Amino acid sequence: MIKAKKSLGQNFLIDKNILEKIVNITEIKNKTILEIGPGTGNLTSFIIKKKPKKFLVIEKDNILAKKIEDTYKDKLKVINDDVLDVDENSLFDEKVTVFGNLPYNISTEILNNWIINLKNDFWFECLVLMFQKEVADRIIAKFNTSNYGRLSIICNWKLNIKKICDIKPEAFYPKPKIDSSLLFFYPKKNFIKINNPNSLEKITRIFFNQRRKMLKKPYNQIFNGDKKVLEKLKIDLNLRPQNLNLDTYYKLAYEYEKLGS
Ligand code: SAM
């Protein structure tokens, strides 16, 4: 049996009911599919049964990548690389459906990169991704709640997000200490335009740097005390960062960009 590497977040999904559920979330037949971290191929084999048109997997672990390649040679293409070093924008000539039971230690970095690095058009049709529950809770958090923050704001900018279900540690081997959640993401048709997504990263970083403090200090830091944006967006500086809704953050990023133009 394969010895799981903790450093690569290897918790293999072994519950067949959940594997079946994952491949029924969205159409696979005749679609182009990307799987992140196929590992021992548990989810991979369920995807193959659904007959995708094209199937690519990205696996960092050399031994597992070789094993997947040997087992499914004519059914998929393996990219033996770190997903964080792959530019998915230029990998495909048509939109992709992405599956991933993501390595927990880099799951937010993967998702954040995909959103921040999106070119004009989306390279994916939808994403079916597993996160540790605590991270999923932050991704889908609503404003005025304690889980709401940078991750919620960045993820919800261009994507609709639906929670599919929570998953208990028993579904994995080795068994993780935490619960997991499965999320489904698909592109929004309309979203507030921000030319450089790094502006949104900057705004949210400065605002949530001290999430318990009032908005006065971060607002003044970004807008140099200029009250125009404040009045336009009707922001009360006595509130706290978690009290501003998603659109207000996107509008703040937009106004911040106008400062430099
Ligand atoms: N999909 C398999 C399953 O559900 O049983 C394995 C999931 S396991 C949680 C995460 C997988 O991602 C492992 O196979 C691991 O080797 C791979 N992985 C970890 N870090 C990676 C990275 N930076 N780039 C690509 N794959 C990575």
CA of 102 to the centre of ligand 1 (A): 6
Answer yes or no: is the C-beta of 67 below 6 A from any ligand 1 atom: no
**Same domain, yes or no, for 115 and 51?**
yes
Share of the chain above pLDDT 90, in %: 90
Q: Is 42 in the pocket of ligand 1 (CB under 6 A)?
A: yes
The mean pLDDT value for 224-248 works out to: 95
Which residue is it, tokens 């659904």?
50
Whether 251 and 128 map to the same domain: the answer is no
Task: Using the predicted structure, report yes or no on whether residue 217 has a pLDDT greater than 90.
Answer: yes
> Is the pLDDT assigned to residue 63 strictly greater than 90?
yes
Q: Is the minimum distance from the CB of 11 to ligand 1 under 6 angstroms? A: yes
Alpha-carbon torsion, ordered 225, 229, 231, 232, to 10 deg = 170
Residue with tokens 């949210």: 204
* Alpha-carbon distances, residue 106 vs 101, 135, 170 (angstroms): 11, 11, 22
Q: Probe ligand 1: pick from 17, 60, 107, 110, max atoms within 8 Å of CB?
A: 60
pLDDT given for residue 22 in this prediction: 98
| pLDDT over 70 at 245, yes or no | yes
Distance 185 CA to ligand 1 centre (A): 19
Residues 168 and 228 placed together within one structural domain of the fold: no
> How high does pLDDT run on average in the chain?
95
Given a cut of 80, whether residue 120 has pLDDT beyond it is no
258 token code pair: 């106008």
Q: Please give the pLDDT value at position 261.
A: 61
- pLDDT per residue as tens digits for the range 229-238: 999 999 999 9
Q: Within this chain, do residues 161 and 201 fall inside the same structural domain, yes or no?
A: no
Q: Does any ligand 1 atom lie closer than 6 A to the CB of residue 100?
A: no
**192 within some domain:** no
Q: Is 84 in the pocket of ligand 1 (CB under 6 A)?
A: yes
- Number of domains into which the chain is organized: 2
| Secondary structure (DSSP) of the chain | -PPPPGGGT--EE--HHHHHHHHTSS--TTSEEEEE--TTSHHHHHHHHT--SEEEEE---HHHHHHHHHHHTTT-EEE-S-GGG--GGGT-SS-EEEEEE--GGGHHHHHHHHHHT--SS-SEEEEEEEEEHHHHHHHSPPTTSTT-SHHHHHHHHHEEEEEEEEE-GGGEESPPSS-EEEEEEEE-S-----S-HHHHHHHHHHHHTTTTS-THHHHHHHHTT--HHHHHHT--TTS-GGGS-HHHHHHHHHHHHHHH-
Q: Is the CB of 235 under 6 A from ligand 1?
A: no
- Name the residue range of residue 224's domain: 197-259
Q: What pLDDT is attached to residue 1?
A: 65
Within a domain: 212: yes
Residues 111 and 182 in one domain: yes
Q: Are residues 228 and 128 in the same domain?
A: no
**Side chain identity at residue 196, one-letter code:** N
User: What radius of gyration, in Å, describes the C-alpha atoms of the chain?
Assistant: 20
User: Of 187, 218, 248, which one is at a domain's C-terminal end?
Assistant: 187
| CATH classification of the domain holding 50 | 3.40.50.150
Separation CA 210–CA 176 (nearest Å)? 31
Question: From edge to edge, which strands make up the β-sheet containing 180-187?
Answer: 77-79, 54-58, 32-36, 96-101, 124-132, 180-187, 159-167
Same-domain status, 223 and 130: no
pLDDT tops 80 at residue 260: no
Residue 241: give its domain's CATH number: 1.10.8.100
Across 217-248, b (16+ Cβ under 10 Å) vs e yields: ebbeebbeeeeebbeeeebeeeeebbebebeb
**173 and 206 belong to one structural domain:** no
Same domain, 103 and 211: no
Same domain, 241 and 205: yes
Which pLDDT score, from 0 to 100, does residue 259 have?
Answer: 85
Q: How far, in Å, CA of 130 to CA of 245, rounded?
A: 26
Reply yes or no on whether the pLDDT at 226 is more than 70.
yes
Nearest residue (by CA) to ligand 1, atom 10, is 103
Q: Which amino acid does the sequence have at 101?
A: N
Domain co-membership, 247 together with 216: yes
| pLDDT value at residue 121 | 87
Q: Is residue 1 part of a domain?
A: no
Query: 105 and 10 in one domain?
Result: yes
> 91 pLDDT exceeds 80?
yes
Q: What is the DSSP string of 102-159?
A: --GGGHHHHHHHHHHT--SS-SEEEEEEEEEHHHHHHHSPPTTSTT-SHHHHHHHHHE
